[in-house]
Amino acid sequence: MKSQTTILSVVLALALAVGASCGGDDFRGISLSLEFKPRDLPQDTTTINYYVLPLQLSDGSQAACEDFMGSQAEKSVLDYSTDFVKRGGQSVSATESVTLTLAELPEGMLMFYIEAASTSQVLACGCGQGQVKRGEKVVIPIRLATDCRK
């Protein structure tokens, strides 16, 4: 059976979160916003899960999207739970957009792995990488595919 790729490219817009204080600028860290519209997600999606990994993994290898994508992927993101920079999820509805905000990200090359899931299975997954640097904006395109590691 041929795997399908949805026509979704989720754009992750990275912005520096800066707060003002009496003593000057208070840098609270780097934040990333992920926005999902119902039409962008597979039918029956109830949850968006995200996992953020650093470039260098604890087993000495590097995080590379191609190693984590597809039903025959060499690696599972869950095998690197001790390396997670951020991890989480949020419920989604069939009628409302959802925005996830990942705060306090470190600078450096990061890999972002996303799953669209129903209550019983992963429906689509996607991955993107980008250099996160304070004061700079970056766009990390992620295309969700239905061929995901089980």
| Secondary structure, 3-state, 19-33 | EEECCEEEEEEEEEE
Nearest to 112 by CA among 3, 7, 13: 13
What does pTM read for this prediction?
A: 0.81
Query: Tens digit of pLDDT for each residue in 95-113?
Result: 888 888 888 889 999 999 9
Q: What is the pLDDT of residues 120-144, one digit of tens each?
A: 999 999 999 999 888 888 888 888 8
Q: What is the CATH number of the domain that holds 40?
A: 2.60.40.2550
Domain membership of residue 111 (yes or no) is: yes
Rounded to 10 degrees, what is the CA torsion of 141, 126, 73, 105?
70
Q: Tell me, yes or no, whether 149 lies in a domain.
A: no
Length of the chain: 150
Measured distance CA(145)–CA(150) in Å, rounded: 13
Instruction: Please count the structural domains in the chain.
Output: 1
Residue 150 forms part of a structural domain:
no
Burial letters 61-74, b for 16+ CB under 10 A, else e: eebbeebbbeeebe
User: Domain range spanning residue 44?
Assistant: 5-144
